[in-house]
Amino acid sequence: MSIRTVGTTPFEGQKPGTSGLRKRVSVFQQPHYTENFVQAVFDTAPGLVGGTLVVGGDGRFHNLVAVQTILNMAAANGIGEVVVGRDGLLSTPAASNLIRSWKAAGGLILSASHNPGGPKGDFGIKYNTSNGGPAPESVTDAIFARTQVIDRYKLLADAAPIDLSRTGETYLGAMRVVVVDPVSAYADLMATLFDFAAIRALFAGGFTMRFDAMHAITGPYAHEILENRLGAPAGTVVNGTPLEDFGQGHPDPNLVYAHELVEAVNGDLGLQFGAASDGDGDRNMVLGPGQFVTPSDSLAILAANATGVPGYAKGLAGIARSMPTSQAADRVAEALGIDCYETPTGWKFFGTLLDAGRATLCGEESFGTGSDHVREKDGLWAVLFWLNILANQKKSVAEVVAEHWAQYGRTYYSRHDYEEVDSAAANGLMDHVRGQLGALTGGSLAGKPIRLADDFAYTDPVDGSTATSQGLRLLFEDGARVVFRLSGTGTSGATLRIYLERYEPDSAKQGIETQEALADLIAIAEEVAQIKHRTGRDAPTVIT
């Protein structure tokens, strides 16, 4: 087969600093667009020529088109071997696992995560490096620089699409293509980490739960692991067949978009546990009847109970959390006498800590939890971790949470999102807050003294790389915090995120409704940022 070189021109691609390219499907469908980005990766990422590349996506609209384009271009660019999920499917954590187990140079994961899919929805491509994790900024910056000067990409002429419907091995030109079962290696990995016998016994004893795959990628994984391997009754997994448009839903496991699950768990079905995952399977939401577990609390609770789980029986090296994630995990780390790291938002910042063996568990407030078993956050992993804890302790979710708060104190926590805000207005709001930081440090708001007000900057303790402007923080003397950040993953307008947190050690005061408990901080956020006036919104789009 001959190689065809197609002339092209630079394009507006991935913003530096983001882990991948995330745009409307129609943008990816433009001539040369997907090809330019893929070629920019092949031109810059080390080790791919002659090496192994993992490819797969969350099954959203355009997934298969992009997979075939990547296969063709990989062959034309001299990639040695591609490992691809059957039907082009791989969850993000499963792809991370395959990159590691196949010792691949990297992987291309096709997803826009929790963003809606379908012809009018979003698509995305992200590049992960040989450790299995999202490419660090040095790599994404190089990819971006390449997209700014790209003038050609390579295709295989006259190559037919590869049949991805069956596992097995084939060749595309000189490149080996291995079509693998997307689920089995991942399910095997989970079996090494968790006490499957104990969880099987839990289900055999009549424990009932619902896992909502939200018509996205975790359906096949959850069917296999929860129902086939762990014996949960058929029907435990709902919305378990990946659909190209996610059933026209929004595969974002939070209280708003997964409200059907929340209602089912709180309804009269007698369910003891509920969980959901997002488009690409790296997020998780867990809850019990009357007890939603905030992702920040979940990280702390998993850490506090980790030694009861086989994969973590030896204890944790450390815990890492993103800056906006609550400080609940810090208190567990302190009690365990281990380090707790505070990183900028985005899983890529955990990679060096995990690789260096400094952190074992990591978490983000945005429904992301994971460990050193892969280099991505992992939705089903978190669900299995919770099931293992429930199986060990024979307690309800609410009891586990209440006992945690009694021991460590409760961290009231909420995130307010204002989606699709006018970009200029959102930037103006951030500038307005930024301008007050100096005066606020050492001052006070609504009678609450402020220890520090700053623009969060981070120096990686392993490789010394730095990241600046990662969120505006108001840190109060009593440990309360208000953080302002603009999302880096939206595809239209700006999304303003406001993170609110307050610590309550007194058990007698831990039963307040969250928004009420945070009311003074919500008022402070409005006072400092003039949110209503500047966004033109009366209320957040999503409150978590």
- Residues lying near ligand VG1 in the complex (CB under 6 A) are found at 113-114, 278, 282-283, 322, 345-347, 364, 366, 368, 487-489, 497
CB of 124 to ligand VG1, least distance (A): 8
Verify whether residue 113 is a known catalytic residue.
yes
List phi, psi (to 5°) of 74: -60, -45
Which of the listed partners (ligand VG1, Co ion, none) does 364 bind, with a CB threshold of 5 to 8 Å by partner kind?
Answer: ligand VG1
Distance (Å) of CA 81 to CA 1, 102, 173, 375, 404: 16, 10, 11, 22, 48
Is the Cβ–Cβ distance between 344 and 353 less than 8 Å?
no
Q: What angle is formed at CA 247 by the lines to CA 246 and CA 251, rounded to 5 degrees?
A: 40
Residue nearest Co ion, CB atom distance = 113
CA dist 68 and 76 (Å) reads 12
CB of 267 to Co ion, least distance (A): 27
CB-nearer residue toward Co ion: 286 or 531: 286
CB of 94 to ligand VG1, least distance (A): 14
Q: What angle is formed at CA 217 by the lines to CA 214 and CA 219, rounded to 5 degrees?
A: 65
CA dist 118 and 247 (Å) reads 9
The three-state secondary structure class of 420 is: strand
CB-nearer residue toward ligand VG1: 115 or 305: 115
Residue identified by tokens 């096709």 is: 110
Which of the listed partners (Co ion, ligand VG1, none) does 366 bind, with a CB threshold of 5 to 8 Å by partner kind?
Answer: ligand VG1
Residue nearest ligand VG1, CB atom distance = 113
CA dist 71 and 91 (Å) reads 18
Which of the listed partners (Co ion, ligand VG1, none) does 489 bind, with a CB threshold of 5 to 8 Å by partner kind?
Answer: ligand VG1
The three-state secondary structure class of 513 is: coil
CB-nearer residue toward ligand VG1: 119 or 488: 488
CB-nearer residue toward ligand VG1: 236 or 489: 489
Binding mask 276-305 for Co ion (x = CB under 5 A): --x-x-xx----------------------
Which of the listed partners (ligand VG1, Co ion, none) does 405 bind, with a CB threshold of 5 to 8 Å by partner kind?
Answer: none
Among 113, 291, 343, 388, binds Co ion (CB under 5 A): 113
CA dist 19 and 40 (Å) reads 14
CB of 379 to ligand VG1, least distance (A): 9
Question: Does position 330 bind Co ion by CB under 5 A?
Answer: no
CB of 22 to ligand VG1, least distance (A): 8
Question: Does position 81 bind Co ion by CB under 5 A?
Answer: no
DSSP alpha helix (H) spans, 109-232:
137-147, 184-193, 196-204, 218-222
Which of the listed partners (ligand VG1, Co ion, none) does 44 bind, with a CB threshold of 5 to 8 Å by partner kind?
Answer: none
CB of 459 to ligand VG1, least distance (A): 20
Q: E strands along 120-188, which residues? A: 122-129, 152-156, 168-172, 175-180
Q: Pick the piece of the chain touching Co ion (CB under 5 A) from 9-17, 272-280, 380-388, 479-487.
A: 272-280
Which of the listed partners (ligand VG1, Co ion, none) does 369 bind, with a CB threshold of 5 to 8 Å by partner kind?
Answer: none
CB-nearer residue toward Co ion: 92 or 360: 92
Residue identified by tokens 């709902």 is: 238
CB of 378 to ligand VG1, least distance (A): 11
CB-nearer residue toward Co ion: 162 or 362: 362
Is the Cβ–Cβ distance between 62 and 144 less than 8 Å?
no
Which of the listed partners (ligand VG1, Co ion, none) does 34 bind, with a CB threshold of 5 to 8 Å by partner kind?
Answer: none
CA dist 135 and 125 (Å) reads 12
- Write the CB contacts of 128 (distance below 8 Å, at least 6 apart in sequence): 54, 95, 96, 99, 106, 107, 108, 109, 134, 135, 375, 376
Is the Cβ–Cβ distance between 36 and 8 less than 8 Å?
yes
CA dist 485 and 500 (Å) reads 12
Candidates 113, 298, 326, 371; catalytic one: 113
Q: Pick the piece of the chain touching Co ion (CB under 5 A) from 113-121, 238-246, 448-456, 496-504.
A: 113-121
Positions marked active-site: 113
Residue ranges binding Co ion (CB under 5 A): 113, 278, 280, 282-283
